[in-house]
Amino acid sequence: MDVTALLDGLNPPQRDAVAAPLNHQLVLAGAGSGKTRVLVHRIAWLMQIEHLSPGSILAVTFTNKAAKEMRQRIEDLTGISPRHLWIGTFHSLAHRLLRIHWQQANLPENFQIIDSDDQLRLIKRIVRAMNIDEKEFQPKQAQHYINSQKDEGLRAKHIQPFNDRWAQTMVTIYGAYEEACQRGGMVDFAELLLRAHELWLNQPEVLAQYQNRFRFILVDEFQDTNSIQYAWLRVLAGKVIPMMAVGDDDQSIYGWRGAKIENILQFSKDFAGAQEVKLEQNYRSTSNILNAANAVIDNNPSRLGKKLWTDGEAGEPIHLYQAFNEQDEARFICEQVEQWKINNSTKRYENIAILYRSNAQSRVLEEAFIRAALPYRIYGGQRFFDRLEIKNAMAYLRLMQNRHDDAALERVINVPARAIGEKTVQLLRDLARDEGSSLWQALMQGIEHKLLTPRALTSLSGFANLIAQMETTCSGIALHEQVDHVIKSSGLIEHHLKEKGEKAQTRLENLDELVTAARSFNMDEAIEKQLQNDVPDDALIQSPLAAFLDQSALDSGDTQADEFADSVQMMTLHSAKGLEFPLVFLAGVEEGLFPHKMSANDPERLEEERRLCYVGITRAMERLVISYAESRRLHGQENVNSPSRFIGEIPAEYMQEVRLKATIKKPVSNFFGTSAAKEATGMNIGQRVWHAKFGEGVILDMEGQGAQSRLQVSFDFDGTKWLVAAYAKLTAME
């Protein structure tokens, strides 16, 4: 193999790292400086020049997706099948080891992995069985306690709580939980890592086997390793296996999950004499984008401190859009995507990413993309209408609308629990099958002819009455009031509250969000859409509830692009780590949302939020669009937010405010410069207006003075337009 081919496309410090002798290495460098590229080339080098077999190389990545990409790149570079390489996340590697060495790890052969939902449920059962007060010692807290102890490598028997009653109880729960897991052959995520670590400590011959096997270890995203992960690596490497750690302290964003930036400093101590590699040239982003990122992260006091430069072009300024509200923001993003696609016809949708701080922001974006018929894909996090609590609420609404919706009936007949058991439901199914009727008809028949036990009859009548009452109350009230009423009277709130903690909170927020969705549901638009599809007049869906159900069914159906289809990528900032895209949108960059309000007052957490912002900005290669909404409805609440402090930390010279048609607006420093236009037109942003040709709409923005004043109006049917105020002859409504 040609040495130069492996070193092609690398700068001198990158080459030094790739072609170094087999020793410890620490590559500490900023975003987009080619760390992952170095890691991949290093693996190729080890195989081709050092002749290490693929099976003797261990590489740790942060996601399974990254592992997959790495395999592909290695194969492209070397032509060698990477099948035998050990590449994966800490969890997947630990899992693999435990499957091979289940006996030595003291596990049953068919041990089961449990996710954090299962884990919480198990802890709850234990807490109840032990008669511990669930209010004082919340299962959710116990879960957090157990996982963080495991992350520190501690078993219940290792912990000495002394006279601390709270800690004593937690340790007791931890111990009982350990026993239950051991009995049932269950392994949670944190346990995977702890067991794999204990495998090294307790089974010297297994450790020796792997120390003989592996000749080199490589770790990407090292700044986000936690204690147990690092300990696992350190013990494995021992004094025998050289290790390359690659990371960036400015991109440590999992502190809230136990990640330790300090591991970077510890590495230099534990692996004395490690070659330290600094990469300072960024190859990913235009200089405007890079300078903005550097300026933002510079506000963090505790940094190891690195310089990052690029000899690339300045590129476009960063675009900043002040949206009127979250709907306007989503619409703006869609228009930008369409525009970009027209101007860059050879580029693909997957070159575009929309990044946001919290998963709940995705609903509005999703809806806008569906309306605009743009392909999109959401990574991680469930689509809004696929969420359990939303499906439950929608099932009540569906049943109210149509009693013969069997799927809806099955879903909620006993949710919340109303003592209608599986036996009763099976009886209804049999009856319905024999009669060729719906489940609802079977239910009514069962009640009428007393075909069931008195207890079941009482429960079934209760259910039937509930649905009937819902319908009565809901006749004649607005759609969002209907949704609100159904959620409240169904008992779903109490039902989900029983789950307690963060999960219950999220579910309730989502239910609120459903009311918000109903409130912003536009009936005129729904009818217009039907007319466009040539639905005949007498078949038009006129009821807002029916139209809403119709649309949400679409939203949860196959509207999302297939995994392999070309589509815009939507994801949280956390899951964007390590990735890059020519066009990146950072949406919802507002105080309270980003930085998150929970972190704004804690200096350490604020620094982590800022690192997250740095990660976000540095994902962009060519164009970065930052948007924030003046007012945002989220979790059913309307909030008026100011632009994020992070926007203020970007020097104005790299930024430019944009308008929908990408025209240039007032200087960045002047966030709210609309007063002149407001005086001239006598209108306000947000005002509903009527136009002789375009019909009804809402004012999104205004600019200019006197006779030059222009208004931006989003018309219900004709899209968004800029109009000269003097000629538009708008009539104010409401």
The smaller minimum CB distance to ligand ATP, of residues 35 and 659, is found at: 35
If DSSP codes are grouped into helix, strand and coil, which group holds residue 288?
helix
Asked whether position 36 contacts ligand ATP by CB under 6 A, the answer is yes
Binding characters for ligand ATP, 263-292, by CB under 6 A (x = yes): --------------------xx--------
How many degrees, rounded to 5, is the angle at CA 45 between CA 39 and CA 48?
A: 145
Catalytic residue among 251, 281, 361, 681: 251
Is 221 in the active site? Answer: yes
Asked whether position 37 contacts ligand ATP by CB under 6 A, the answer is yes
Q: How far apart are CA 147 and CA 57, in angstroms?
A: 30
Is 453 in the active site? Answer: no
Choosing from 1, 10, 295, 676, the residue that interacts with ligand ATP (CB under 6 A) is: 10
Q: Which residue is nearest to Mg ion (CB)?
A: 36
Q: Find the shortest distance in angstroms from Cβ 246 to ligand ATP.
A: 7
Give the HSE-up count for residue 218: Cα atoms under 13 Å, Cβ half-sphere. Answer: 28
Q: How far apart are CA 88 and CA 315, in angstroms?
A: 36
Is 559 in the active site? Answer: no
Q: How far apart are CA 585 and CA 625, in angstroms?
A: 5
Is 220 in the active site? Answer: yes
Q: How far apart are CA 597 and CA 578, in angstroms?
A: 26
Stretch that binds Mg ion, among 34-42, 257-265, 416-424, 487-495 (CB under 5 A): 34-42
Asked whether position 9 contacts ligand ATP by CB under 6 A, the answer is yes
Give the sheet arrangement for strand 688-691, strand by strand.
719-724, 710-715, 695-703, 688-691, 731-732
For residue 75, the tally of other CB atoms under 10 A from its CB is 15
Q: Which of 333, 298, 334 is nearest to 319 (CA)?
A: 333
Asked whether position 248 contacts ligand ATP by CB under 6 A, the answer is yes
**Binding partner of residue 10 among Mg ion, ligand ATP, none, CB cut-off 5 to 8 Å per kind:** ligand ATP
Q: Find the shortest distance in angstroms from Cβ 578 to Mg ion.
A: 4
Is 251 in the active site? Answer: yes
**Binding partner of residue 401 among Mg ion, ligand ATP, none, CB cut-off 5 to 8 Å per kind:** none
The residue assigned the tokens 């070309």 is 566
The smaller minimum CB distance to Mg ion, of residues 35 and 195, is found at: 35
**Binding partner of residue 485 among Mg ion, ligand ATP, none, CB cut-off 5 to 8 Å per kind:** none
| Single-letter code of the amino acid located at 292 | A
Q: Which residue is nearest to ligand ATP (CB)?
A: 34
Q: How far apart are CA 242 and CA 721, in angstroms?
A: 62
Q: How far apart are CA 70 and CA 577, in angstroms?
A: 15
- From residue 200, alpha-carbon distances to 182, 209, 235, 306 in Å are 19, 10, 7, 36
Q: Find the shortest distance in angstroms from Cβ 285 to Mg ion.
A: 13
Catalytic residue among 188, 191, 221, 657: 221
Q: Which of 699, 406, 690, 363 is nearest to 518 (CA)?
A: 363
Interface with ligand ATP (CB under 6 A), residue total 18
Stretch that binds Mg ion, among 81-89, 136-144, 570-578, 722-730 (CB under 5 A): 570-578
The smaller minimum CB distance to ligand ATP, of residues 258 and 578, is found at: 578
Choosing from 13, 32, 258, 643, the residue that interacts with ligand ATP (CB under 6 A) is: 32
The smaller minimum CB distance to ligand ATP, of residues 34 and 446, is found at: 34
Beta strands of 302-437 (E only): which ranges?
Answer: 318-325, 352-356, 376-378
Catalytic residue among 151, 188, 191, 220: 220
In degrees and rounded to multiples of 5, residue 452 shows phi and psi of -125, 175
Give the HSE-up count for residue 141: Cα atoms under 13 Å, Cβ half-sphere. Answer: 12
The smaller minimum CB distance to ligand ATP, of residues 188 and 580, is found at: 580
The smaller minimum CB distance to Mg ion, of residues 9 and 706, is found at: 9
Q: Catalytic site residues? A: 35-36, 220-221, 251, 619
Residues near Mg ion (CB under 5 A): 35-36, 578
Residues near ligand ATP (CB under 6 A): 9-11, 14, 31-37, 248, 251, 283-284, 578, 580, 618
